[in-house]
Amino acid sequence: MDIDKVKAEIEKLREEIRKHDYYYYVMDQPIISDAEYDDLMRRLVSLEQQYPELITSDSPTQRVGGQPLKAFASVEHPVPMLSLTNAFSEGELRDFDRRVRNAIGEAVEYVVEYKIDGLSVALWYRDGIFVRGATRGDGHVGEDVTENLKTIRSIPLRLNRPYTLEVRGEVFISKQDFEILNEERRLSDLPLFANPRNAAAGSLRQLDSRITASRPLDIFIFNLQHIEGFMPDTHWEALNLMAELGLKISPFLYQSDSMEDVIKVCHEWNDKRHTLPFEIDGMVIKVNNFRYRQLLGSTSKSPRWAIAYKFPAEQRETIIRDIIVQVGRTGVLTPTAVFDPVSIAGTMVSRATLHNEDYIKEKDIRIGDTVVIQKAGDIIPEVVEVKREKRSGREIPFIMPRHCPACGADVVRLEGEAAARCTGSACPAQQKRLIIHFASRDAMDIEGLGPAVVQQLLNNHLIKDAADLYYLKHKDLVEIERMGDKSATNLLRAIEDSKNRGLARLLFGLGIRLVGLRAAQLIAQHFGSIDNIMKAKKEEFLEIDEIGEKIAESVVAFFNEEQNIRMIEKLKKANVLLQQEAANTRVNLLEGKTFVLTGTLAGYTRTEASRLIEERGGRVTNSVSSKTDYVIAGENPGSKLERARSLGVTILNEQEFLHLLGIE
């Protein structure tokens, strides 16, 4: 195909996709189906793969995230990102109005907007192309989060006009997306985000932009800071201009020269805020006229031309009837308060997490206490105060159980940690997750043993822990729903094949807390067998480079638990390989060679590809240099590919990479 025709088709596809991104992510009014949109994107991806030299930074395909950073670069704000002065009463708003009118000497018009509870950022566009973004930081210096911001679909990578400008906005996560995100983390037994703001801030400040890309971030642009060539006269005009450029502005804007009307609007939204799909914690009132803003100026901390009216937190009193302990999938014991139901922020709540034992002791929370409940960020119920003056003397202090309420195993709390954990590998609250982890690719790689099959095996009492997998019979499996003769045969073969994965992968598969694949490899290489690991003392683990006290304590605690010892004995009887693999030619195949991965491989995740390299003695790094031996380029390669070409580094596609590994 003629290169000019390719360029024309690529640009046409990009324009079409940008248009649909705008209607979907900014206007919330999609005009084509998801399938039609996917077809457009697939065509664009295909053309860019064939002609990588035509990939540009503003292409819609460049939102997936790139290689992790070691740290964020610093960005100095040309104009400081100041914080707003807060007002908590009508009187404080009237005082603000009085100061403004006295300074200006005439009536002043205000613009009222939502105060989005998120993370403030600055965005820079050059000739209409998004070139840089930064967090607020300390107001003078922020962090360069450009690659992370590119993953937010409501941020256009190209404006509708080629202006050079700076805008400021608030990154946030909607209430519904926040609940979904926390539910996913709950199922993975990851710490829950306290509120949407924390979730947004944590997501935007990920050093790995691929993690940011997986989070449902959104943005509202609230200020035009600078634009080359001209500047609108008012904030209202600037907001309209930004909307015309394709930037997403607040869905609610109110204009008035009456502070009494402004106060009325603030009260109205205090009552209605729970109806919004995103979180607001107040309203922002700004002087509309830019010339007046210059006259008013700023203090060292805040502009004199704007103020934030903060909504009061909604609180309710109730009585704690019980404190129950729930066991998470990694064995964390979480105390939860059960109280008389109360209505807060539009919903009935009857439970609130108490986090850990230290939190309960710090607040002196007891069963029978009258407490004040509010929702953190209007989402998660929390106990904020104990009404000690209402105690009768019959309240019962909470004591964390010494044995797991689900399985009876010992509960341990490692030094320096707040969490108490169950040590039992056969704990019913943990077993499903542990078995799924045991069968995962980086561990024992048992194909066909997905979550649904594991759940059925548990429900039918065919297994209690991962070791029981090696004692399954064909007649047991065919009785499981949707498990036919062929599927049963294939699963048994996969289980049998997994016996020889090696000590490191087995150790990782056991799900020992804090022991990732790298730590498992180091421990396996050092001790050589499971028996040596089981009898080793903490000090022996600390002799290994990269193994710290917490990992050492975790491994020792794991193998001190009787249930875990019994599981290892079952693995031995099933002839699972429990020694380090003997050295062979494959292990040293890539010794001394340094690799960099860029783009997406069709057959392997980046973690899997890295493991294949490291198993053969190679080393994987994040950046291309003159010392790099090979760059492995998958689909949608990043700037590392160009860097490799400029340095003359050998570039391999996926097929060539597999040939090098000897596993074609």
Going from N- to C-terminal start, the domains of the chain cover 3-63, 86-310, 315-393, 431-573, 594-661
- Quote the Cα angle for 95-99-105, to 5°: 135
289 — pLDDT class (breaks 50, 70, 90) = very high
Q: Which CATH class is domain 431-573?
A: mainly alpha
Average pLDDT over the chain, rounded to an integer: 86
- Best CA proximity match to 564, nearest among 522, 507, 634: 507
What's the pLDDT tens digit per position in 597-623?
888 777 777 777 887 887 777 888 877
Encode pLDDT of 505-533 as tens digits.
899 899 887 888 778 888 988 898 999 99
- Are the C-beta atoms of 425 and 561 separated by less than 8 Å? yes
Mean pLDDT in residue range 646-655: 84
User: Which residues are bridge partners to 269 per DSSP?
Assistant: none
Phi-psi region of 623 (alpha: psi -120 to 50; beta: other; left: phi over 0): beta
For β-strands 74-76 and 141-143, DSSP reports them as antiparallel
- 594-661: same fold as 315-393? no
Contacts of 343 (CB under 8 A, 6+ apart): 316, 349
pLDDT, tens digit, 9 for 90 and up, residues 399-438: 999 999 888 889 988 777 788 888 876 677 778 878 888 9
pLDDT confidence tier of residue 1, bands split at 50, 70 and 90: low
CA distance 366 to 394: 10
Question: Band of the pLDDT at 37, cuts 50, 70, 90?
Answer: confident
Got the DSSP string for 50-115? H-GGG--TTSGGGGS--SPPSSPPEEE-SS--PPPPEE-SHHHHHHHHHHHHHHHSS---EEEEEE
**What is the CATH topology of the domain spanning 594-661?**
Rossmann fold (3.40.50)
- Mean predicted confidence (pLDDT) in 572-582: 84
The pLDDT of residue 583 is above 50: no
pLDDT band, residue 122 (cuts 50/70/90): very high
Q: Is the torsion defined by CA of 474, 478, 482, 485 positive or negative?
A: positive
Report the C-alpha gap between 563 and 426 in whole angstroms.
7
pLDDT at 185 over 80: no
Q: Quick check: 328 pLDDT over 90?
A: no
Helix, strand or coil for residue 380?
strand
**pLDDT surpassing 60 at residue 156:** yes
**Averaged over 242-268, what is the pLDDT?**
95
Pairing of strands 129-135, 218-227: unpaired
Is residue 95's pLDDT more than 80?
A: yes
Rounded CA-CA distance 583/586 in Å is 8
Residue 183's pLDDT band, with cuts at 50, 70 and 90, is confident
Q: Residue 69: pLDDT band by 50, 70, 90 thresholds?
A: low
Residue 378 pLDDT more than 60?
Answer: no
Indicate the range of 52-56, 147-151, 254-258, 531-535 predicted with least confidence: 52-56
Dihedral-angle region of residue 397 (phi above 0 means left; psi in -120 to 50 means alpha; beta otherwise): beta
Identify the burial level of 535 via C-beta atoms within 10 angstroms of its C-beta, where 0-12 means exposed, 13-18 middle and 19 or more buried.
exposed
Asked whether 253 and 111 are in contact (CB, 8 A), the reply is yes
pLDDT at position 585 is: 40
How much is the average pLDDT of 253-281? 92
In CATH, the number for domain 315-393 is: 2.40.50.140
pLDDT recorded at residue 588: 59
Measure the CA angle with vertex 575, ends 571 and 577; round to 5°.
80
Q: How confident is the model at residue 13 (pLDDT cuts 50, 70, 90)?
A: confident
Specify the residue for token string 């003359």. Answer: 648
Cα–Cα dist 381/373, whole Å: 7
- Looking at residue 223, its pLDDT comes to 96
Instruction: Count Cα atoms within 13 angstroms, Cβ side, for 272.
Output: 10
Q: What is the pLDDT of residues 301-324, one digit of tens each?
A: 889 999 999 888 778 899 999 999
CB count in 10 Å sphere of residue 142: 21
* Residue with the two structure tokens 């009463």: 89
pLDDT interval class at 586 (50, 70, 90): very low
How many residues would you count in the chain?
664
Task: Please give the pLDDT value at position 28.
Answer: 59
At 68, the pLDDT band (50, 70, 90 cuts) reads low
Percent of the chain exceeding pLDDT 90 equals 39
Q: Which residues are catalytic?
A: 115
Q: How far is it between the farthest Cα atoms of the chain?
A: 90
pLDDT at 64 over 90: no
What's the burial of 205, exposed, middle or buried (CB within 10 Å: 0-12/13-18/19+)?
middle
Query: pLDDT at residue 57 above 70?
Result: yes
Instruction: Identify the CATH number of the domain defined by range 3-63.
Output: 1.10.287.610
- In angstroms, rounded to a whole number, what is the distance separating the alpha carbons of residues 545 and 372? 49
**Do the bridges between strand 650-652 and strand 630-633 make them parallel or antiparallel, or are there none, so unpaired?**
parallel
Residue of 142 and 300 predicted with greater confidence: 142
- Class for domain 86-310, per CATH? alpha beta
Does the pLDDT of residue 379 top 70, yes or no?
A: no
> How far apart are the C-alpha atoms of 572 and 260, rounded to whole Å?
78
Would you tell me how many other CB atoms lie within 10 Å of the CB of residue 494?
17
Q: Quick one: average pLDDT of 568-589? A: 75
CA distance 633 to 638: 9
pLDDT value for 42? 80
